[in-house]
Structure 1
Amino acid sequence: MQATYLEVCAQVRYWEDATVNGAEDTEGTLIPARVNESWRPVIRLADGLVMDWPQGTTADIHYKVCDAGEYWLLDDERKRVAKWAGFYVPGDFLCHGDNGYGDYIILKVGADGLIEKYRAPKIEMNCGCDEDDQSGWALVA
């Protein structure tokens, strides 16, 4: 399986937990990649570039998501190849520079669209041997 991107669909509990260009985003109207009530960025796994991020925009994100998110690995053509098996935020992928304890997405995005302190995460597949196993990535059929 070749994974190039991470697609996020997070139901953000408190939009005001982010600042965009230094301003508190009290209504969630400033943050790029918001679609209705979800935050839906696509992140390139190799270097932490948030795709289609507006040049010159910075963001300090500390979103509480809890169990209200879905996450997919995408191939080069941005087709879904695997889905996160758990209910919690995959921290190795979405918490850089802090610990989100499974409930938070914590990122600082620079003006160039790169996530600060980004380290490419290791992709661990879900074994599929226990239907209650909520760790790792499960292949999309």
Structure 2
Amino acid sequence: MQWSPDVRQRYLDSRHALREEVDALAPRAAEDPDQHLAELVRLHRVLTIRSAGYWENRTHLFADQVRSLFDDGVSLARRLSQHDPAEGTRTLAAILIDRSTFHTATSEFKPALEDFRQALSYLGEANQPLRRPLPPA
């Protein structure tokens, strides 16, 4: 993100408006998931990524500030997957990969691997052989 500081700040500050949109959409998604759940999951993912971008340089606070966003995103994506398996399963896999990346960034390698394996299983790639074997852990 080689953006000018003012552009980067505006982009990251948009997370406040996104939080308001997510909070406003959540009850509607609970009442009418056909109409609103996929959009809630999408907006929540954008909020999570922008929040991670904001907190990335505040290393002592990073994990505490964004962990719940990644966990909530997985919960929302699981709901979408149960409600709409066609769209929801691929979305769940993507959000699990996001959380796996978060776990890797915070040196939580076992949960990162678990999320990544789960994502691969949703993508139908869990039983595919790896091109190169991984070294022993």
TM-score after normalising by structure 2: 0.27
Which is higher, the Rg of structure 1 or of structure 2?
2
More relative contact order, 1 or 2 (CA 8 Å, 6+ apart):
1
